[in-house]
Amino acid sequence: MSGPSLRKKDAHSSIHEAALNEAKELRNLLQKCIDDKALHKALQVAEVIIEHWESRTLKHAEAEEEGLYKDMVAENPDLEILVAQLTRDHDLMRRMVEDMKEELRTQTVDQRMIVLLDSLITIDEIHNEDEVNKLLINNETYER
C-alpha cells in the first residue's frame, strides 16, 4: 500500500521537483569545483551528490515500486506497460549512480561525472513528467 502523498498528483510532483532542484544545484557546484581544479572539494561534492541521489530520488523510487506502482496496476491493469517503463527509468538511474560511485572509488571526478549527472537529471525530468501526466492522471479516476 502506498502512502497518500505518493498518490496525490500535486504532492508527488512537489517531492520530485524539490529533489530535482537540489540535484541541479549540486551538479552546478560540482562543475564549479572541476572548473576551479579543486579536486579535494570536487570529491567531497561528488560524495554528497551520490548520497543525494541514493537517499532522495532512488529511495523515493523504491517506495514507488513497492507501493504506488503495485497499487496502481492492481487497480488498473492497463497501466502495467507504463509502470514497466517507469521502473526501467529507475533502473537506469540506479546504474548511473553506481557508475558515479565507481568513479569516486577511483578518485576520478571529472567531466564524465558531469555528463552522468546531466543524463540522470534528464532521465529524472522525463520520468517525473510521465508519472505526473500519465500515471497519476489515471489515479484521479481510481482514487479511493
Domain ranges of the chain: 4-142
**CB of 1 closer than 8 Å to CB of 71:** yes
The pLDDT tens digits of the residues spanning 15-34 come to: 889 999 999 999 999 999 99
* Average pLDDT across the chain, whole number: 90
Quote the pTM value. 0.88
